[in-house]
Structure 1
Amino acid sequence: MATFFLVIIYLAFISLGLPDSLLGVSWSMMQPEFGAPLETAGLLFMTIAGGTIISSFVSGAVLKRFGTGIVTFFSCFMTAGALLGFHFAPSLFWLFIFAIPLGLGAGAVDAGLNNFVAAHYKAHHMSWLHCFWGVGATLGPVIMAQFISGQHSWRSGYLAIAGLQFALVIILFLTLPLWKKLEGNSNSMAANESETNNNALNGADDKNRKPIQIRGVKLVLLSFLFYCGAEAAMGLWGSSFLVNVKDLSVEKAAKWVSVFYAGITIGRLITGFITLKIGNRTLIRMGQLLALIGAALLFLPLPSTFSLVGFIMVGLGLAPIFPCMLHETPKRFGQEHSQTIMGYQMAVAYTGSTFLPPLLGFIAAHSTIGIFPFVVAGFVAIMLLGSEKLNAILNRNDLIREKNKNSNVI
C-alpha cells in the first residue's frame, strides 16, 4: 500500500508543477484578448502567490483537523476548478477571482504532501518528488504550446491541464479511505525514527510550546526564505545579467538559464540516489558550498564560458537543499510539530520566491544588473550561516542527550 500511495503522490507532484509555468507561457495571447497592460501578469502571479502563502501558514491546523487525504482531495479539486475557470473566464476580473483558489489549493497540497513524505518515507523519495515537480513544470508549457501553435487558443490549454487535474481528483476521491489507514500506521519507519531521534531543540517541554517558539525554527525559516530567493532570482534575472553584463545574445542567455533549471532537476534525481549513502545535513552543506562557488564564478572577471559553469554549479548546488531541508523537519522538531512547521516553511519559501527577486530588480533598476551575482551569493551565504548555526544547536543537543543517557545507565 505504501508503494501505491507513492505513485499517487508522485502524480500529485507532477500535477502541482503543471500550472506553475502556464501563465508566463500564455500571457502573450491572453493580454491582447483582455486588453490588459503587460504588468497585469505580475499582479495575477502575486494573487496566486498570496493565496499559496496564506494556505501554507494555516495548513498545519487544517491538516491536523481533517487529515492529509481529505485536504489533498479538496485542494486538488480547487486547483482543477480554478484552471477550468481560467478556460471560461469572460473578463480579466474573473482571472483574478480564479487565481485565489488556484493559490490556496497549491499551498495546502504542497505543505501536506511534503510532511506526509517526510514522516512516512525515506529521504530519496523527497528528492525524487521535487524532481517530478520539475517534470510537471516542464510539461505545462509543452502542453500549452501544442494548443497555442495549432488552431486552438490558450483556453484549450487550460482546459487540457484542468482535465488532467480532475483525473487526479477522481483518483484521490477513490483512495480517501486508504489515506487514514496509512496515516495511522504507527509502525512507519520514518515515524519511529522521528520519535527515537527527536531533536526538539528546547528539551522535554517542547510539547507545551508553540511551534514558532521552538529554538531553531526561525533559523530554518531564514534558510527557506533565502533559498527560494536565490533560486527565483537566478531564473528571473539570470538572462538579463548574461545579456547586459556578459554580452551574450538573448537566445544564448535563455539557453544558459534553462541549463540552470536542468541542473536542479537532474541534481534532484541524482540526490535521491546519494541520500542512500549520505545524510541530509551533509548534502545540504555540500549543496550550499557548491552554489556559493558557482555564484562566485559569475562575478569574477572570467571569460563568459565560466558563467555557464557557474549557472550549472548553482543549479546542481541548489538541487539537494530544498528537499533535504523538508525531509529533516520531523527529525529536527519532532513529529508532533512537524506539520505546522512544514506549513510555515512552505509559506516562507513562497514569500522568498515572490518578493526577493522583485526587490533585487528594483535595486538593479536604480544601480546596475551587475549586482545580480553578488546578491545571489549573499542569499546563499546567509542560508549557509543559518543552516550551520542550526547544525551547531542540533549537535550540542545530541551531545547533551547522549551524556544524560549515559549517566542514567551508570
Structure 2
Amino acid sequence: MISLLLPVIYAAFISLGLPDSLLGSAWPVIRMELGVPLSYAGIVSMIISGGTILSSLLSDRMTRKTSAGFVTAVSVFMTAAALFGFSTAPSFFVICLWAVPYGLGAGAVDAALNNYVALHFKARHMSWLHCFWGIGVSVSPYIMGLFLTRPSGWHGGYRAVSYIQLMLSAVLFAALPLWKSVSEKTVSDKEQAVISNGRKTVKHTIFSVFRIKGVPLVLVSFFGYCALESTAGLWAASYLVQFRGIAAETAARFASFFYIGIMSGRFLNGFIAEKAGDSSLIRIGCTVAILGIILIILPFSSDVPALAGLITAGIGCAPVYPSIIHATPARFGKENSQAVVGIQMASAYTGSTFMPPLFGLVAQNVSISLYPFWLLVFAFLTLFCSELLEWCLKNNTK
C-alpha cells in the first residue's frame, strides 16, 4: 500500500516546484510596473524563505498532531491562495504580505516527506521525487512567459499557476483516505527505521545535532548548494535581460533552461543512483555545474554558450540535493536521521533566504555581470565541504 503513496508524494513535489521560479521569471516586468528597485526581488524571496524555514522546523510537530497527508494538502492549498493573492496585488507591500502564507505553505511538508523517502525508499525514488519538483519549477516560467505577452501580464501568470495549485490540492485532499489506509504500516516503518544497532531514536536539541560527527560540514555544503540553486533561478532572467540584452518574455523562457537541466538530470540520475552512490553523484554533479557556470562566464558574442551553460549547470545541480538528503541515514545513523534532516532543511533555506537578496544588492550597486562568478563561489564551496565530510567520516575525524 505504501507504494501507492508515491504518486501522491510526487504530486506534492510538483506543487512545491510550481511557484519557485515564478518570481524570477516575472520580476523584470513586475519591478517596472510597481516602480521598485531590482534588489527588491530579494526581499520577497527572503520573506518566502523565512516562512519556509519556520514551517519546516515545525513540520514534525504538525505531522504528529495530524498526519503527513493532511499537512501536505493544507500546505498546497495555502500556496494556491497566496499565489492568487500575488495575482491581485496592487503594490509591492501587498506582495510581501502574501509572501508570508506562501512561504509557510511551501515549507510545512518538506522535511517530513524528504526524511520519509530517505528512510523507506531507494535512492532512485529520492532522485525521481525531486525530478517531479523540477517538472513544476520548469513549467511555471513557460506559463509566465506566455502570459507576459498577453494583456493580463504577470497577474495572469500568477493566477494560472494558482488554479493549477488548487487542482493539485484537491487531488491531495481526495487522497487523504489513502494516507489513512497505510497509517498503520507507516507507523510500523517509522518504528523500524528509528532502530539502528539496537538504539532507538535519540531526542535531540539543535545544539546536540551539531555535536554529531560531520553535521557542521553537511550544513555548510547544503547551505552552499541552495545558495547556488536559488540565486541561479531567481536572477537568471534579470541577468539575461540586463547584461545579455534579451527581451523580457524570451528571458523568462530561457531562465527555465536551468530548471529543465535539473529536472532532466534527476530523471536520468534515478537509473544510476544506486550504482553510483550518493557521494559520487554529489561530486560529479558539482563538477558538471562548475563547467556549466564557466560556459556562462566565457565572453562569447553569441548567447548560445550562456544558455547552454544554464542547462549544463542545472544538470550538474540535479543530483546534489536529493543525494545529500538520501545519504543522511547512512552518514549519521537512522536514529539521528529526522533531527539531521530537519536542521539540514533549515540550513538549506537559510542559503535560499539570504544569498539571493544579497546578490541583488551586489547586482544593483556593482554589476549584475557578477552573476556567474557568484554561482561559481558556491559551487566550489559545496564541492569542498562535501569532499571534506567524506574524508572526515572515513577517517573518523570530527
TM-score higher than 0.5 here? yes
Aligned to 1:403: none
Aligned to 2:378: 379
Residue 321 of structure 1, CA deviation: 0.6
Provide Cα deviations, 1:162-196, integer angstroms capped at 9, x if missing partner: 33323333332333343255454369889968855
The SS at the match of 1:185 is: helix
Aligned to 2:85: 85
Aligned to 1:321: 320
Aligned to 1:250: 246
Aligned to 2:334: 335
1:262 matched to 2:260? The reply is yes
1:221 matched to 2:219? The reply is yes
> Which runs of 5 or more structure 2 residues have no equivalent in the other structure?
none
Distance in structure 2 (CA, Å) of the matches to 1:342 and 1:48: 20
Provide Cα deviations, 1:15-57, integer angstroms capped at 9, x if missing partner: 1122223344555776687x55355544333322221122123
Tell me if the contact between 1:127 and 1:272 (Cα under 8 Å) persists in the aligned partners: yes
Distance in structure 2 (CA, Å) of the matches to 1:41 and 1:364: 12
Distance in structure 2 (CA, Å) of the matches to 1:333 and 1:225: 18
Structure 1 residues 29 and 387: CA distance shift in structure 2, 3 A:
closer
Taking every aligned residue pair, what percent have the same amino acid on both sides?
A: 46
1:165 matched to 2:160? The reply is no
Structure 1 residues 169 and 292: CA distance shift in structure 2, 3 A:
closer
Residue 217 of structure 1, CA deviation: 1.8
Letter in 1 for 2:127: S
Aligned to 2:350: 351
Tell me if the contact between 2:47 and 2:353 (Cα under 8 Å) persists in the aligned partners: no
Residue 294 of structure 1, CA deviation: 4.1
Letter in 2 for 1:280: D
Distance in structure 2 (CA, Å) of the matches to 1:88 and 1:377: 37
Structure 1 residues 339 and 81: CA distance shift in structure 2, 3 A:
farther
Structure 1 residues 23 and 392: CA distance shift in structure 2, 3 A:
closer
Residue 219 of structure 1, CA deviation: 1.3
Tell me if the contact between 2:296 and 2:309 (Cα under 8 Å) persists in the aligned partners: yes
Tell me if the contact between 1:107 and 1:346 (Cα under 8 Å) persists in the aligned partners: no
Taking only aligned residues, the RMSD between alpha carbons, in angstroms, comes to 3.9
Letter in 2 for 1:101: P
Structure 1 residues 172 and 237: CA distance shift in structure 2, 3 A:
closer
Distance in structure 1 (CA, Å) of the matches to 2:160 and 2:369: 41
Distance in structure 2 (CA, Å) of the matches to 1:28 and 1:214: 44
Match of 2:290 among 289, 292, 301: 292
Distance in structure 2 (CA, Å) of the matches to 1:293 and 1:22: 26
Distance in structure 1 (CA, Å) of the matches to 2:307 and 2:172: 42
Aligned to 1:63: 63
Which region of structure 1 is more displaced relative to structure 2, 177-186 or 119-128? 177-186
Residue 357 of structure 1, CA deviation: 3.5
Aligned to 2:18: 18
Distance in structure 1 (CA, Å) of the matches to 2:330 and 2:240: 41
Q: How does 1:21-36 map to 2 (within 5 A)?
A: 21-26=21-26
Tell me if the contact between 1:17 and 1:133 (Cα under 8 Å) persists in the aligned partners: yes
Aligned to 1:283: 281
Letter in 2 for 1:13: F
Residue 5 of structure 1, CA deviation: 1.4
Letter in 2 for 1:225: F
Provide Cα deviations, 1:321-349, integer angstroms capped at 9, x if missing partner: 11111122233233344334323222322
Residue 7 of structure 1, CA deviation: 1.2
> Which runs of 5 or more structure 1 residues have no equivalent in the other structure?
199-203, 399-410
Tell me if the contact between 1:59 and 1:340 (Cα under 8 Å) persists in the aligned partners: no
Residue 364 of structure 1, CA deviation: 5.9
Q: TM-score, normalised by structure 1?
A: 0.78
The structure with the larger Rg is: 1
Structure 1 residues 104 and 181: CA distance shift in structure 2, 3 A:
same
Structure 1 residues 178 and 379: CA distance shift in structure 2, 3 A:
same
Aligned residue pairs: how many? 390
Provide Cα deviations, 1:61-105, integer angstroms capped at 9, x if missing partner: 333443322221221222223233345557655433322111101
Aligned to 2:270: 272
Q: TM-score, normalised by structure 2?
A: 0.80
The SS at the match of 2:21 is: helix
Letter in 2 for 1:213: R
Tell me if the contact between 2:46 and 2:354 (Cα under 8 Å) persists in the aligned partners: no
Provide Cα deviations, 1:204-251, integer angstroms capped at 9, x if missing partner: 798254334322222111111111222234345567778998xx5536
Tell me if the contact between 1:131 and 1:265 (Cα under 8 Å) persists in the aligned partners: yes
